[in-house]
Each structure stands twice: as C-alpha cells, then as structure tokens.
Amino acid sequence: MTVLVRDFRTEDAEAVTALRRVCIPYQVVTEELLLFGVATANPAKKYRLLVAEEEGVIIGTAHVGIAYESSEPGQSSVTPHVHPGRRGRGAGALLLRTAEEHLADEGATSVCAWVIDEPSSRAFAEKRGYRPSRGAHFQRLDLARAVLPEPPPLPPGFVLRTAGDFAGNPRPLFEADAESTSDEPSDISTALDDYEDWLHTTWNDPSLDRDLSTAVVAADGRVAAFTAVVTDRATTYVTGMTGTRRAFRNRGLAKLAKSDSLRRARAAGYTDAFTSNDGDNGPMLAVNKWFGYEICASEVRYVRTLG
C-alpha cells in the first residue's frame, strides 16, 4: 500500500478534524478553524497544511510554516501527527520530509517540532536528526466536577470585562497580549508588533470565544490581565493565552481572570478544560495547579538545523 502526501483540500476538512481530534484530544480543532487557518494565513508564514493519504483515507496531517513573528529569522515549525492505528507505514517520515523541503525552499535554517513525550515519538524525531530542547505540559481540569478555589479579591478601581466588550476597539487586548507573549518562556522569541495581523489571526480566529474570555481592566482603561479562550462551542474549553502586564504581576490578577472565565464556562455547560504551559513557566504552572489542573500529556520541543 502506498502512502502519498499532498496539500489539504477543502473537502478534507471533516476527515482532518476527526484525525487531529484523535491525535491531540487536548486542543480545539474544528472544520471552521482549519478552513480559516488555510484561508487567512499571513503570506510570510508560507503556510501549508499537508495530509498523508493511504488508499484514499487521510491517516496523517502536518501544519507547516515559517515562524514569521519571531525576532530571529530562519525559524520554522512542523507538527506531524499520524493516526495511532496507522503508524509505521512511512506517513510521518514523508510528511516531515515534504515539510522540511518546503521550509528550506522558503529560507528556513531551522525547523522545530513538538513531539509527544513517549518513546516511539521521541525515537522517530531523533532518528531524523532532531535534537531535544524544552518541554511543555498539557493539563486538564474536570470542569464538571472540580471544586474551584475562591478567587482573589478584585483590587479597588479594577473591573472585569469580557473580550466581547472590546469589540469596538480590541487594541487594549492586543497591547496586553503583545507584552505578555514576549515574556512567555520559549526558545522562539515572539514579537507581536503587527496589530492588523493580530486582528486577522487572533481576534478573528473563529474558535476564540470572546464571551468566555475575561479581561481585568485597570482604572486607566489598560487591560492589566486577561485570559483568552478557544472552545469547540460544545464541551471543550482550551486556554489560548493568559497574560498579565509586567506592572501588575503577582497580585492575583491571572487567577482572577481565569476564575471568572472558568466559572462562566462551567455555567455554559463546558465539562473539559485544557491548557498547555512551557515546563519552565513557574508562575503559570503555579496558577494552573491552584485551580486543580493535572498534567495529561507532555511534549518535547525538537529542533533540526536545515541545509
């Protein structure tokens, strides 16, 4: 049987959604989100969504792109995933090779892949010249049953808002996202300095649940802290980003934002909350542990130099 790799087509959306849900159950994947990603990717990303097909059945996928938001040029990423029942048939290797050729042609000098921390996936990456770097943890909270801790008090002068309240002018959210994202531990430094691109890729992301995303707003109108949430509009709630601006850290504001959002998500019927943090992100891991999140899977970032 022959495995082939090709670019995603619109009619693949249902099969790719189902496959990625099996491979990465702790992320939100919807058909709408896949189609949005393909249609609106920044041209600088040189984005491709690859699929591996065997006998007409999609058995693997990979998001492939240049890390164009990084302050260091030449960095790129690939996320190959093959259905657990269809591994060992060459799909992963072919996805990776196709991705690396494309990225090298577009000027990438290094490629990063997040690999599930399990022996077979790590061995696959190491055999193909990838070396391990940082780790990250996916964590799950059983939102239906969890006893959520009492939130810290809202400091005088601060108010809670939803992201939806910023529909007329989301710039204060962009400013908080840009400042906090630049401080997130990672070895691809990210500089969010393009408001228009942020509007396209983050604010207009169809999976962003503006009503369940919470902002803590200071008296001067600045967003001091926020939690941005993506959902499948059914049962799964995933934290896309939580951030507190530098001047407001360690005052319980991340806990406050997330407490408000999680409580409203539970009231809206969400049962599974997921989040993912870099293994060195002490403050965020502390916040999530306080809520009762437990590690459900770990990943290791692997890097390969191209050329």
Interface residues with ligand COA (CB under 6 A)?
A: 180, 183-184, 225, 241-244, 249-255, 277, 281-284, 286-287, 290
Give the 3-state secondary structure of residue 9: coil
Shortest distance in whole angstroms from residue 238 CB to ligand COA: 11
Nearer to ligand COA among residue 40 and residue 190 (C-beta)? 190
Closest CA to 287 of 264, 257, 246: 257
Shortest distance in whole angstroms from residue 192 CB to ligand COA: 12
Shortest distance in whole angstroms from residue 251 CB to ligand COA: 5
Shortest distance in whole angstroms from residue 234 CB to ligand COA: 23
Measured in residues, the chain has a length of 307
Nearer to ligand COA among residue 52 and residue 287 (C-beta)? 287
Nearer to ligand COA among residue 48 and residue 137 (C-beta)? 137
Give the 3-state secondary structure of residue 25: coil
Nearer to ligand COA among residue 51 and residue 178 (C-beta)? 178
Give 157's DSSP letter.
Answer: T
Burial of 158: CB neighbours in 10 Å, binned 0-12, 13-18, 19+: middle
- In degrees rounded to 5, what are phi and psi of residue 255? -60, -40
Shortest distance in whole angstroms from residue 204 CB to ligand COA: 21
Nearer to ligand COA among residue 13 and residue 136 (C-beta)? 136
Helices 253-267 and 282-291: angle between axes, nearest 10 degrees = 40
Shortest distance in whole angstroms from residue 224 CB to ligand COA: 8
Show the tokens assigned to 38. Answer: 């393909």
Burial of 264: CB neighbours in 10 Å, binned 0-12, 13-18, 19+: middle
- In degrees rounded to 5, what are phi and psi of residue 189? -70, 135
Instruction: Give me the sign of the Cα torsion angle 138, 286, 224, 134.
Output: negative
The residue sitting closest to ligand COA, measured at its beta carbon, is 282
Nearer to ligand COA among residue 58 and residue 178 (C-beta)? 178
| Cα–Cα distance measured from residue 231 to residue 270, given in angstroms and rounded to the nearest whole number | 9
Q: Which amino acid is at 149?
A: P
Shortest distance in whole angstroms from residue 186 CB to ligand COA: 9
Nearer to ligand COA among residue 73 and residue 149 (C-beta)? 149
Pair 51, 6: CB distance under 8 Å: yes
Pair 113, 290: CB distance under 8 Å: no
Nearer to ligand COA among residue 47 and residue 290 (C-beta)? 290
Shortest distance in whole angstroms from residue 230 CB to ligand COA: 13
